[in-house]
């Protein structure tokens, strides 16, 4: 029994891990690598393994850095099934088609510029048709229902990260292997806490915030209110890049709470992402993923994502119209790391106005536009053009749906594993966490891309 690390190894995006068990190759996740455009293109188009050699795939959750390269996996030869939770299946019916659409539109936009400069055209990473074909491979597997696959038992448990997120437990050859996917935090709004799983032989765990501690979510709400009030007073716009799944709903839910408590100025809010609109509708179909508080709120008052100040935008014309307006507003738009989609147009049109603000509410990977904004670089490139950033940048990591250092150490203690492999983290975060886990007596590794370990 061996494990091969081919993505999100000593980096955050592009999650891909392969278990070699009983002559089978089991793929855990197949995410898009996000970073420098040329490097990302090369990594995402060229798999470090043969897709047709994969026996089965299990997916932890719907975020694109874990699921976004599935269309290429199928396009290049994978013919098996992909098992994941029912909520994740429903989310990906929206997300992968949207991703294919974005790939096509971004290529079209870049090619217009290339044509003017006499440069060769680029091809989209994959198309809507590629995404549609990949959807036929999905098989829903509910939490706690064990699937037997040729002497392998696989069970999904709630990871508490986003709607439908799962920890994947594989039992084979008398061993118990747990892949956390992205591990959530206790007491996050809307979704349940991560489930406890014990007596694990091998733990494959994310390490995004391996050297950081989160503030309480109530502090984040207060900070959010203060930022909105400050920018509203100077009559600016607040641009919020947010993942369509999880973060957008959490921000909207938070704004609803602040409005109901009369803690917010009356400022219009626009969720400008067709995907976010569709995903929010998926949330209402899966109350089995809600925590007790959210379930009671939804049963009592109905849709908490549709209060009076908020407008959901699908049409491109309505999106363009927002950039022509100068009145105060909040615009929440995908993608969360500012690499694709409508958020790029909002940033392009608003980043040079000092009255405006950019509010970062999630993790930004290295070499992404989002990271350059977090680091408050004065000049950034959007669609290949340079812009002077005059808009103020605020960062609220407290909204992160990832476990912090204490949460990750808690997971190690709960599982009490013989071996720990840390993935999905930058080296500074990962190495610090690894040192602490080793101090506690656990055999711990931080594998590089391509490394294979015997379990």
Among the listed ranges 135-139, 211-215, 375-379, which one has the minimum average pLDDT value? 211-215
Predicted pLDDT of residue 244:
76
Q: CA-CA distance, 200 to 188, in Å (whole number)?
A: 25
pLDDT at 36 exceeding the cut of 80: no
Average pLDDT, the chain: 91
* Residue 382: Cβ-neighbour burial (10 angstroms; 0-12, 13-18, 19+): middle
Instruction: Say what the pTM is.
Output: 0.85
> What does the pLDDT average to over 122-136?
96
pLDDT in tens, 269-318: 999 987 777 887 888 889 889 888 888 877 776 666 666 678 889 888 99
Predicted pLDDT of residue 284:
80
Under a CB-based contact definition with an 8 Å cutoff, are residues 102 and 340 in contact? Answer: yes
Which residues are 174's β-sheet partners? none
> Which percentage of the chain shows pLDDT scores above 70?
98
Residue ranges of alpha helices (H) inside 198-306 are: 217-233, 247-260, 274-283, 292-301
Q: CA-CA distance, 131 to 133, in Å (whole number)?
A: 5
Predicted pLDDT of residue 307:
63
Kindly indicate the confidence band of residue 189, based on its pLDDT and cuts at 50, 70 and 90: confident
pLDDT in tens, 237-269: 999 998 777 788 888 888 888 888 888 888 999
Under a CB-based contact definition with an 8 Å cutoff, are residues 45 and 37 in contact? Answer: no
Kindly indicate the confidence band of residue 45, based on its pLDDT and cuts at 50, 70 and 90: very high
Predicted pLDDT of residue 255:
87
Predicted pLDDT of residue 305:
67
Tokens of 394: 């605020």
> Within 10 Å of residue 418's Cβ, how many Cβ atoms?
14
What counts of helices (H) and strands (E) characterise the chain? 14, 22
Kindly indicate the confidence band of residue 354, based on its pLDDT and cuts at 50, 70 and 90: very high
Q: CA-CA distance, 167 to 180, in Å (whole number)?
A: 4
pLDDT in tens, 368-397: 899 999 999 999 999 888 999 999 999 987
Residue ranges of domains in the chain, CATH in brackets? 2-212+401-454 (3.60.15.10), 217-399 (3.40.50.10890)
Kindly indicate the confidence band of residue 216, based on its pLDDT and cuts at 50, 70 and 90: confident
Tokens of 254: 């938070």
Strands 166-172 and 175-179: antiparallel
pLDDT in tens, 338-352: 887 789 999 999 999
Half-sphere exposure of residue 111: CA atoms within 13 angstroms, side-chain side:
11
Under a CB-based contact definition with an 8 Å cutoff, are residues 32 and 450 in contact? Answer: no
Under a CB-based contact definition with an 8 Å cutoff, are residues 39 and 76 in contact? Answer: no
pLDDT at 55 exceeding the cut of 90: yes
């Amino acid at each position: 029994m061996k494990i091969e690390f081919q993505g999100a190894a000593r980096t955050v995006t592009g999650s891909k891990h392969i278990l070699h068990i009983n002559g089978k190759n089991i793929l855990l996740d197949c995410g898009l690598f996000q970073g420098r455009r040329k490097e990302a293109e090369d990594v995402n188009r060229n798999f470090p393994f043969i897709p047709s050699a994969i026996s089965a795939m299990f997916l932890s959750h719907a975020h694109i850095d874990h699921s976004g390269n599935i269309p290429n996996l199928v396009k290049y030869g994978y013919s098996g099934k992909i098992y994941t939770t029912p909520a994740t299946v429903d989310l990906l019916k929206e997300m992968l088609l949207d991703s294919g659409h974005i790939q096509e539109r971004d290529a079209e936009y870049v090619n217009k510029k290339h044509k003017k400069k006499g440069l060769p055209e680029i091809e989209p990473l994959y198309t809507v048709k590629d995404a549609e074909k990949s959807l036929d491979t999905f098989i829903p597997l509910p939490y706690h229902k064990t699937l037997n696959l040729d002497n392998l038992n696989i069970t999904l448990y709630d990871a508490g990260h986003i709607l439908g997120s799962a920890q994947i437990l594989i039992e084979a050859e008398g061993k118990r292997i747990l892949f956390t996917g992205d591990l959530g935090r206790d007491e996050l709004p809307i979704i349940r806490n991560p489930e406890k799983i014990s007596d694990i032989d091998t733990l494959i765990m994310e390490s995004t915030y391996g050297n950081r501690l989160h503030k309480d979510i109530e502090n984040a709400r207060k900070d959010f209110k203060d930022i909105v009030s400050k920018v509203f007073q100077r009559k600016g716009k607040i641009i919020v890049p947010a993942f369509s799944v999880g973060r957008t709903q959490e921000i909207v839910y938070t704004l609803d709470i602040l409005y109901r408590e009369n803690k917010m100025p009356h400022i219009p809010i626009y969720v400008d992402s067709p995907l976010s609109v569709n995903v929010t509708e998926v949330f209402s179909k899966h109350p089995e993923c809600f925590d007790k508080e959210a379930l009671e709120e939804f049963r009592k008052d109905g849709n908490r994502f549709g209060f009076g100040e908020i407008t959901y935008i699908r049409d491109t014309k309505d999106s363009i119209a927002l950039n022509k307006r100068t009145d105060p507003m909040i615009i929440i738009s995908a993608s969360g790391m500012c690499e694709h989609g409508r958020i790029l147009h909002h940033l392009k049109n608003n980043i040079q106005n000092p009255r405006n603000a950019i509010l970062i509410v999630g993790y930004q990977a290295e070499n992404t536009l989002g990271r350059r904004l977090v680091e408050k670089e004065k000049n950034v490139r959007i669609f290949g053009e340079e812009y002077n950033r005059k808009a103020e940048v605020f960062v609220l990591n407290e909204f992160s749906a990832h476990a912090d250092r204490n949460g990750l150490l808690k997971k190690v203690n709960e599982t009490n594993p013989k071996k720990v492999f840390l993935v999905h983290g930058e080296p500074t975060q990962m190495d610090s966490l690894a040192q602490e886990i080793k101090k506690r007596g656990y055999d711990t590794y931080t594998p590089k891309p391509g490394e294979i370990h015997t379990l």
